[in-house]
Amino acid sequence: REKQKLKETSISNLEEEDDEQQDEGLDETDQEAAKGDEEKQEADDDEADGLEDGNGVPNKKKKKKKEKLLKEAAEADNRGVCYLSRIPPHMDHVKLRQLLSQYGEILRIYLTPSGHLPQVKGKRTRPSKVQEQEFSEGWVEFARKGIAKRVANMLNGGRKRSSFYYDLWNIKYLSKFKWDDLTEEIAYKSAIREQKLALEISAARRERDFYLSKVDQSHALNSIEERMKKKQKVQQESETNSELPVSQKKVIRQFPQKKPVTVDKSQSKPQLSKDILAGVSIT
């Protein structure tokens, strides 16, 4: 009995140890799964925050690019454009930049050429220089809106020694106007001009083709009339017909024909001569 009791106690102890080991194994697997979920969440959070890996290494390129784009957008919104409805004679973009850059930073300048060169009065004894291009209007882009507004409000004339002192400035600040609007307008006008040129060229080509076709047709009619005249000279017609004009004469065509060779049908079939038939006696 004591031996049986010892066996039962040992068996129960072994079963309890197995259950504890199984519980520990389950706890370890649960812990590993929980750790994996936490690592995934951390990786997702890191990607959302601009991190490459879960180690906390920042993606500097993406951040710098995003910051640069935001900075450029803010700078573009802060820019201001002034419109110059008249450009003084002998002024170009270099002189204009020198005059206006003392009031603030200038980014871009565009001047529209007037399309004609200044006229030269009288004759020159000295060799003439290269004629300067005149401009009708222009746009100036400042780095800040406030500077553009201040320049448009105060700039008029200049120093007395300046060659542009007696030329009045007519500057207007364009609100909510960006440089891209100007480039789009220029591209639109150039496209319209090219389209008009293409239409004019196609119309000229049609007129040329029509004229050439009529010329070919007239040549063909002239050649036909010449042939008719040559044939009418050969023909023998009545006096009434000869008095008519060439255009009203009736064209009579003559085709040379050859006489057919007559062939006897009797010679086509083989026959016996009459001498042979005469010597035959019929009884």
Q: Which of 58-67, 104-113, 146-155 has the highest mean pLDDT?
A: 104-113
Q: What is the pLDDT of residues 217-237, one digit of tens each?
A: 999 999 998 888 887 777 765
Say whether pLDDT at 53 is over 50.
no
Q: Is 173 exposed, middle or buried (0-12, 13-18, 19+ CB in 10 A)?
A: middle
Q: Residues 168, 198: one domain?
A: no
Residue with tokens 């780095």: 143
Q: 59 — alpha (psi -120 to 50), left (phi > 0) or beta?
A: beta
Instruction: Give kind and range of the element (H or E) at residue 224.
Output: helix 179-234
107: enclosing H helix or E strand: strand 106-113
* DSSP structure class, residue 258: -
Residues 183 and 138 in one domain: no
CA–CA separation, 120 vs 73, rounded Å?
A: 48
44: containing domain: 1-58
- What's the mean per-residue pLDDT of the chain? 73
Matching residue, tokens 């004629």: 131
More confident residue, 67 or 207: 207
On whether residue 280 sits in a domain, the answer given is no
Rounded to whole angstroms, what are the CA distances from 185 to 52, 109, 148, 189, 191? 44, 16, 22, 6, 10
pLDDT higher than 50, residue 71? yes
Evaluate if residue 10 carries a pLDDT over 80.
no
Binned at pLDDT 50, 70 and 90, residue 51 comes out as very low
- As a whole-number percent, the residues of the chain with pLDDT over 90 amount to 13
DSSP string, 143-199: SSHHHHHHHHHH--S--TTSTTTTSPP-EEEETT--HHHHHHHHHHHHHHHHHHHHH
Does 155 reside within a domain?
yes
In this structure, are 91 and 7 located in the same domain?
Answer: no
- As a whole number, mean pLDDT of residues 191-197 equals 94
- Does one domain contain both 162 and 100? yes
Which tokens is 184 given?
A: 């789009």
Q: Which residue has the tokens 């270099």?
A: 94
Residue 8 maps to a domain: yes
Q: Provide the residue type at 40 as one letter.
A: K
* Predicted structure pTM score: 0.41
Give the closest residue to 133 by CA, choosing from 106, 149, 102, 112. 112
Q: State how many domains the chain has.
A: 3
Assigned domain for 235 exists: no
What's the pLDDT score for residue 118?
Answer: 47
Determine how β-strand 80-84 pairs with β-strand 106-113: unpaired
Tell me, yes or no, whether 103 and 25 share the same domain.
Answer: no
Cα separation of 151 and 82, whole Å? Answer: 9
Q: Which of 28, 58, 88 is the last residue of a domain?
A: 58
In a domain, 271, yes or no: no
How many other CB atoms are found less than 10 A from the CB of residue 217? 10
State how beta strands 171-174 and 80-84 pair: antiparallel
Q: Which residue has the tokens 């008719």?
A: 228
pLDDT value of residue 117? 47
